[in-house]
Structure formats: structure tokens, C-alpha cells
Chain A
Amino acid sequence: SQQGEEDPQALSIQEGENATMNCSYKTSINNLQWYRQNSGRGLVHLILIRSNEREKHSGRLRVTLDTSKKSSSLLITASRAADTASYFCATKAAGNKLTFGGGTRVLVKP
């Protein structure tokens, strides 16, 4: 079973708009990570947020983590066509494997 569940499953936006996707998980974690995958290729690591952090930024990406609600969100600001991809959250508990959610498919229309 998957630890993280992304919402929505799919998202379609215009270039320049912001895209927000959410991830919920079930058990305690050490950190939560977001990855991007383009069209059935390998995953690219975007950002890692530790359980004692609440918010993190990287370029146009903003990630929040609420451990009390066991949820995280990924915001992509000023989206570009090149942001079209699937986005996955992954959770890591101590000594355990990295567990991925089902992903959010994002389509950015020019």
C-alpha cells in the first residue's frame, strides 16, 4: 500500500498560473520529498523537507509540511510548459524505505 496520496490526481493550468498539489500520509516520518517525472522517464528530486521543518523554498517551488495533519503541499509558481510532468511525494521513516504516492499529473498549457 502507498504511504502518500496526492491530490488532485490531475491538474490542468495555463502558463503563468500557479499549481498546487497536496500529499497526505499515514505514519510518522523523518522527511518528505517531492519528485518530478517527465513522460515515463526517471524521477528527478525536487525538494526535501524534514519533519521539524514547516516550509521550504527552492526557486519557483514552495513546500509546506504539517505533521499534525500528516500532509504536505507543493506549490509551483508562474508555471511554464516545461513544468508539465507527474509530481510525486515520497515519505521516509527511520530505517525504512522511501514510499511514493500515486502522483499528480500536471499539464501546463501554453
Chain B
Amino acid sequence: KAGVTQTPRYLIKTRGQQVTLSCSPISGHRSVSWYQQTPGQGLQFLFEYFSETQRNKGNFPGRFSGRQFSNSRSEMNVSTLELGDSALYLCASTMGSEDTQYFGPGTRLTVL
């Protein structure tokens, strides 16, 4: 099976812009989670989607949003980008209630 894919792999934006990141889970996986990783804060949970519904949400401002489509693909959007949003954004998929998460390679976002 193909692994989790994320696009784009690298992105450079300027402050105030918005960005959309995409994640395609492993075939058959219905749950997608998003994480932000920075040197200062480490790995922080953003949100989890299951069958197109947000199941859990982390402590991030409303500028961070996401959605999941009927084919389980997920997107996350960050509006009004700030310098501190520069990070590696990771998505992971699981099959329903299975606890092992399979991670994609990440999208490296740089905000200038």
C-alpha cells in the first residue's frame, strides 16, 4: 500500500497570506490527524478528523482550520500567517480506532 502523502513538501509564504496543505491517508484509513512541529514547542496536536467530522482539536487559534473529504483526504488551512507559524506540519492516518499512526513526510512551511 502507498504510504501517507503530503503536498506540497516545501512552501514559502509571507506574513498575512494564507496557506492550504493537503494530506492523503493510506488507502482504507478513515482517521487523519495533523501536528505542528517546531524546535521550541515540539510536536503539538492540531486536530483529528474521522469520517469527515472533527473528532479532537488542539489548542490552536481559529486561524488554523481543517476538513476531511469523503475519500478521507484532508486539508488544513492557516489564514493570516504569522512568523511563528513556520514549522513542519505532519499528518498521520489510522484505520478507525486503531491506535498506531502512520505519518507522512511533512510539509515544511516557512513564513517570511
Contacts and interface: CB of A to CB of B under 8 A. Distances in A.
Interface in A1-23: 2
A34 to B, nearest CB: 11
Interface residues of A, number: 22
Given A2-B42, A98-B33, A100-B42, A43 B103 contact: yes
Interface string A27-59: 000110101000011111100100000000000
A29 to B, nearest CB: 11
- Main SS class of interface, A: strand
Interface residues of B, number: 21
B106 A48 contact: no
A68 interface: no
Interface of B: 4, 33, 35, 42-43, 45, 48, 56, 58, 88, 90, 92, 99-106, 108
Which 6 pairs show the lowest CB-CB distances between chains A and B?
A42-B103, A100-B43, A43-B103, A97-B56, A97-B45, A42-B105
Interface of A: 2, 30-31, 33, 35, 40-45, 48, 88, 92, 96-103
